[in-house]
Amino acid sequence: MTTGNSISKRAPTAPKGKDLHIGAYLKHARLNKHLSLRQLSEEVGCSESFLSKVENDKLRPSLSMLHRVVTVLDISIGKLFIAEKDEDRKS
């Protein structure tokens, strides 16, 4: 018997409908820091493949993983969502 408190270990996929496209901002910040996917993945403790999928908006990182990534990249989570909101206004 399962309880309603089980937590999936899989990374969430991008939501249907209103997608957040923060991957390009993360990639831009990574490149500005002159970091390869391998270097960033080693710093934050995940695979290069995972980061690549995040940068290409194929997967959404957990909040804790996003926090680790933005900490290494010296950007704020809030700035990602402000940039995303600004892009929405342009389209």
What integer pLDDT is reported at residue 70 of this predicted model?
A: 96
The model carries a pTM of 0.71
Q: How far apart are CA 24 and CA 38, in angstroms?
A: 17
Does the structure show a pLDDT above 70 at 6?
no
- For residues 90 and 31, the model is more confident at 31
What integer pLDDT is reported at residue 78 of this predicted model?
A: 87
Helix (H, G, I), strand (E, B) or coil at 52: helix
pLDDT digits (tens, 9 = 90+) for 23-79: 999 999 999 999 999 999 999 999 999 999 999 999 999 999 999 999 999 999 888
Please, what's the b/e burial string for 16-55 (b: 16 or more CB within 10 A of its CB; e: otherwise)?
eeeeeebbebbbebbeeeebebeebbeebebeeebbebbb
Does the structure show a pLDDT above 90 at 86?
no
